[in-house]
Structure formats: structure tokens, C-alpha cells
Amino acid sequence: MERRRVRAAVLGALALVAGSLALTPETGSASVTASAPASAPVRAERSTPEAGFEDVLAIGGLSEPVGAAFAPDGTAFLALKTGLIKSFDPSGGGFEAAGTSTDFADLTAEVNNYGDRGLTGITVDPRFPARPYVYVNYTYDKDPVTGGTWGTGQAYDNCGPDDANEATLSPPTRGCPVQVRVSRLTATRGALGWVMQPGSELVLVQNGCAQFSSHASGDVAFGPDGKLYASAGDGGSFKGQDYGQANVPTGAPAYPQGPACPNDPTDEGGSLRAQDQRTGGDPLSVDGTIFRLNPDTPLNVQQGTADQWLVALGQRNPWRFTFRQGKEQLWSVDVGSSNFEEINQLVDAPTTGLVNRGWPCYEGVTGRSQVNTAWQALGKPLCTGLYGEGLGAVQAPVFAYPTTNGNRTATVPLTPGENCPAVSSSMSGIAFSALGSDWPAAYQDALYFSDFLRGCLWRMGKDANGQPNPADIHPFVQAAGSPVDILPGPGGDLYYVDYGSFTDAGYVQGSGGLHRIDHVGGTGLTVKSKPAKVKIKVDGKRHKAPWSTELARGTVVKLVAPRAHRIKGHRFVFVKWKGLDLGKKAAKKRKVTVTVGAEELVVKAVYRKVRSRR
């Protein structure tokens, strides 16, 4: 049965309209426009962050942003899927506006921007600017067999004329194979900001083969060991079980008969490239893996040294990963097929031996690997052999949730009552919040993750040992647009990249941006009474006035004043509330509901003394 992923379909449709994007071609130029947004950050109105937090649009006006990185000097580097990288200088506690930003680098000619493909990962050297390097992970526009390119090197690269060569499984056709590239770019400070030194791209990895429009390049980040880590998808089809059968030459120019990806043995192509390390009859590739390398030396991808550079295999699309600060834990997301979205962990990434996550032979539920029955039925030797090794041969995910419901018509909510509706799912970001910030202790060093299609961010609570607890999930930002990356940043806050919005006509240009989640703290609530010492119910619990507390913004509080009160034999009856904007009639009701805002709230229950009868 065909299993079409909605995310790939959406991004594919998005790429079709991306050709009309207006990009500034000259590296280092400042693209100032009359409609440039103000540099002051503004509150993101459409999203709903958890009470006590605020979603601030730190940088707006971007088209197709997919990744961000912060330099130690406060500069923000934003990667656009098309291949353009923009740098934003710090300004006024935030960043300069998009209209005055600097085009750091233009890699549109090198990047294949088609479907999920594009410039997808970016990071900055931890010792920047002493080591003035920016690192990127992107889909390289080069056919590994013919050496040719696809498209025109502009904002959108098609798959042959009008996508005539797009690979399919029924009937199988060759498609438009490309590779994954990880590079180091040298930055230099120009008059307008940081720019890439011309001709400075050092290619560290150029490998793999992505035949279809999905599951190609992934993320890039530095580990605690000083090594550079990167990820790559399996390069297979999202439409079904792809084992390399789509290799028939089609279109022009003519292709040599045989595998679309070089050296793919029979029944070891497509998604099965994620298990390539388990075979020795063909050259090893980085497809479906997380790997590490020296940040200054090109990696020699070969089987004999795989235990030195290969970290994890058997992954479908490890789109994002992160290291927990102060520890050597590597956490990553794996975008699922039609079954489960996964979060995986390596407790000690620099020293742990190579692990196999099992894809495509297995997909995991929380804490347990599960046989992928669609692949089991095919009887391919790579999966059959892995099943024979037992569950101990694969590592189960720490957390997983269903991609969609049983009849594939809607998603299953992660938490009751959340506002994250979608037909399918696509995990898109993962990060730990900073330690030592002004965030509450429970929110510091906590794990956060996002879903592109559901449009939400969640927080994973902690267990008694301070470790992420997959049984304790909380919605953190709802209606967050199309989040594609999460990362800690300046001020100790958490940031996320919103890819942008869509209409029936396609992608809305300039609708993407970088958001900052700011902890705004609690708002003071003081309850008084006249006369004093009246016991007033606050959310069902009696407190003797005056009484004060601090509550998160947006908290709804129920106040109930007693009908009467006695002091030293004197009787007082309730008259009205003061300090609440309720109107005369509503202020005379003993039971009121108030919503805590940004300003301190002081309310008073006023009573009138009743004369005793003689």
C-alpha cells in the first residue's frame, strides 16, 4: 500500500512556488527594503505558549528558514532552505531587522532545493571568531553517477524538465539522485556584518545517494569532544518500501543501466542503505546515519574505520539532534514513516560503540523496538538477518508517538486538550534549555521537541534523578506555525525557527522567522478586605486577607467572598469588589473570575457593617 507522507507532499508543493523568491545574489550585500520590519522584537500573537512564558518574534520577514545558529559574539546565522545564509547582528537586546541583515553566503548553485532537500543544518564554531568558521549540512546538487546537476541552481531545483524524472516505485523509475555535503565556511567581518570569505568552502564530507525528494541532508553540531557531528537521511522513497528497485533509466540525458545509486547491490538500495554498514560487498555511505568528524579535515568514508566515525545507523531521517550541556548525551529525533515518530538517545556519544536503530526493519514504540511488518513481509536478506539477531541488536527509542491514527485521518494528541491538530506528524526539532537562566528550575535543562505538521512544541518533564521522563509530556507552545528547529540562545532563552505559513495558493513569502520563548515570570495577586481578616476563597481554598501570591500570566482565578463576616460581635455583609474592571453590577457579585495579566493585581472585598436590632 502506498504510504505518502504529508510533510513531504507539503514541502514538495512548497518547493514548486519557491522559484519566485527574490534572493539577493551578491554575498555580503545588505538587502534594505522600505517594508523592512522594525528591529524591536514583537510578540507572536498566533501562538499560545505555556503560562508564564511569552513567544516573541525575534527575526521576521524570512522565506523558508530551516535552521539557526548563534555565535558567541551574539550574531545569529539563519539558514534558508534555498541555500542562502543570512547573518544578523545583535541590536537593542535582540537582532537587527531582516531588511538590514547581511547575506553571509549564497550556496544556491551548490544546494539542491527540491522537496525535503536543501540547506538543512548550520552551526558555528564554539570558539568563534578566534576560529571564524560556520559549518553547514546540505543536499549537494550532483548526480553521483553522471556528475550532472538538476535544475538551474536557483531557488528551486526540479527533477528534470517539469519534474519528469521524479522517481517512482510503481512503475520504478530512476529519479534524480543527489548527495549529502558537509562543509566548513570561513567567515570574515565586513562593513555590513559577517560574510563568507570567497572560495573558502572546505568540503568535509560529500557522500551518500538520495534518489527521491526526501530524507537527504540533516543536522550538524559540535559535540563535547570537540568533534563535528552530522546526520543524513536514508535517501529512500516516502511512498512505499524502497529497496533500490527504482533504477530504470528514464528521460534525458540517458543513464547507464543499473543502480541509480552507484554500487548498490540488489536488494540493498533505497531505505536499506541505512543498514549499509552491515554489508561488506559495497562501499559504505553515510545514508541513514549520525556520524562525527574532525572539523578541519575531510572525512574518508570507508568500512575499515567505521567504528571511529560512525555513531548510529538504521535511521530513516534523523533531521535534528542535540547534546545536553555539561554531559555527553546525544539526543536525536527520527522522522517516522506511517507508524511512529522517535526520540533516541546515546548516553555517552563520544565513547559509546556504534548503535543500530533498526530502520527500515524496525520502528520503535517508547522503550521497545517493534518489527516493521511491511518490511518483514518482503523477506529482504538485510532485514531477515537482523531479525535473526534478536532485539538486542537494535536500540529502542526513549520516546515515540504514533505518526497518525489507525485509519490515517488525524493525529492522536500527545496530551489531553492540546491544540495541535493535523493529519500526520513530522518531528522537527529537539533541544535542552539552558542552565542558570531566569527560567523556573523545572524548565531549565529540560528536553523540548517540536513537530512540523502538528505545529507545536512540547516539554518533557524530569524524573527523580533529573533525567527526561517520557511519561511526563506537557504542551509548551501551541499553534507555533511550522517549527523546523529548536535551540538555546542568547539570554538563556529557547528559540525556534518557524518555516512559514501556507495558503491554498502555496507558501507565503516572508512568513518565516526566528522566535524567542521568554520567561516573563509571575504576576502579583493581592487579595484584601475591608475590614481586614475576612477569609476569602481563592480557587477553592480559604485565605485570610490580606493575602498575596504570584501567578503566571494567563492564569484564571476564581474568587469567592463570604456573604457575611463577624468581628467581635459585629456583623458585616458583602457589598462589592474593588480593583476589578467588572462594571457596577458584576462587581456586586460575591463570586468572580479574573485572568492574571502583566500588571500586578490588587483586589479588595468591601463589606458594610450591619447595625444590630434592639
Kindly write down the DSSP assignment for every residue of 141-202, as one continuous string.
---TTT----S-SSS---SSGGGTT---BTTB-----EEEEEEEEEEEE-SSSEEEPTT--E
Q: How far is CA 237 from CA 244, 358, 470, in A?
A: 9, 17, 30
Q: How far, in Å, are 36, 99, 126, 292, 571 from residue 33 at the CA level?
A: 5, 6, 33, 41, 70
Higher-pLDDT residue of 116, 322 = 322
Q: Are 525 and 558 in contact (CB under 8 A)?
A: no
Judge whether 558 and 585 are in contact, CB under 8 Å. Answer: no
Please tell me the predicted confidence (pLDDT) of residue 253.
46
pLDDT-derived band at 434 (thresholds 50, 70, 90) equals very high
Take residue 429 and report the three cell numbers written for it. 526539532
Is a pLDDT exceeding 70 seen at residue 367?
yes
pLDDT band at 258 (very low <50, low <70, confident <90, very high): low
* Residue 475 to residue 459: CA distance in whole angstroms: 6
pTM over 0.85: no
DSSP 8-state secondary structure symbol assigned to residue 393: G
The DSSP output letter for 434 is: P
- Annotate 286-338 with three-state secondary structure: CCCEEEEECCCCCCCCCHHHHHHHEEEECCCCCCCEEECCCCCCEEEEECCCC
In the chain, how long is the greatest CA-to-CA distance?
112
The per-residue pLDDT for 154 is 58
Integer Rg of the chain from CA: 28
Task: Measure CA 23 to chain center.
Answer: 24
Query: Residue 121, SS3?
Result: strand
Q: Which of 4-8, 24-28, 250-254, 388-392 has the lowest mean pLDDT?
A: 24-28
Q: Which domains does the chain have, with CATH numbers?
A: 6-519 (2.120.10.30), 522-610 (no CATH)
Q: Are 313 and 307 in contact (CB under 8 A)?
A: no
- Closest CA relative to residue 101, chosen from 153, 27, 42: 27
DSSP type of residue 8: H
- Give the torsion through C-alpha atoms of 118, 231, 185, 283, to 10 deg: -100
Q: How many residues belong to the chain?
A: 614
3-52 per-position pLDDT tens digit: 333 333 344 434 333 322 222 233 333 332 222 333 445 556 678 999 88
**Rounded CA separation 445/192 (Å):** 35
The one-letter code for the residue type at 28 is: G
Does the pLDDT at position 467 exceed 70?
A: yes
Considering Cα of 248, then 250, then 256, then 262, what sign does the dihedral take? negative
Instruction: Give the Cα separation of 468 and 458 in Å (integer).
Output: 12
- DSSP label of 257: S
Beta strands in 305-426 (DSSP E): 310-313, 321-323, 330-334, 340-346, 355-356, 362-365, 368-371, 399-402
**Whole-angstrom Cα distance, residue 205 to residue 138?**
10
Cis peptide leading into residue 171 (ω within 30°): yes
pLDDT of residue 197: 97
Residues 6+ apart with CB under 8 A from 524: 548, 549, 550, 600, 601
Nearest-10 Cα torsion for 8, 14, 16, 19: -140
593-605: per-residue pLDDT in tens? Answer: 998 887 889 999 9
Q: What is the mean pLDDT of residues 179-195?
A: 96
pLDDT of residue 153: 56
Q: Which segment of 41-55, 516-530, 544-558 scores lowest on mean pLDDT?
A: 41-55
Q: Work out whether strand 355-356 and strand 310-313 pair parallel, antiparallel, or are unpaired.
A: parallel
At 569-594, the pLDDT tens digits run 899 999 999 999 888 899 999 999 99
Segment 58-74 shows an average pLDDT of 96
Predicted pLDDT at 261: 83
Q: Which of residues 458 and 407 earns the better pLDDT score?
A: 458
92 or 89, higher pLDDT: 89
Q: What's the mean per-residue pLDDT of the chain?
A: 87
Collapsing DSSP states into helix, strand and coil, what is residue 204? Answer: strand
Q: Report d(CA 477, CA 463) in Å as an integer.
A: 22
What are the residues whose beta carbons fall under 8 Å from the beta carbon of 263, sequence distance 6 or more? 282, 283
Tell the residue number behind the cell numbers 486538550, with chain if given: 417
Could you tell me if 382 and 257 are in contact, meaning their C-beta atoms sit under 8 angstroms apart?
no
Q: Could you give phi then psi for residue 559, rounded to 5 degrees?
A: -115, 135
User: What percent of the chain is predicted at pLDDT more than 90?
Assistant: 66
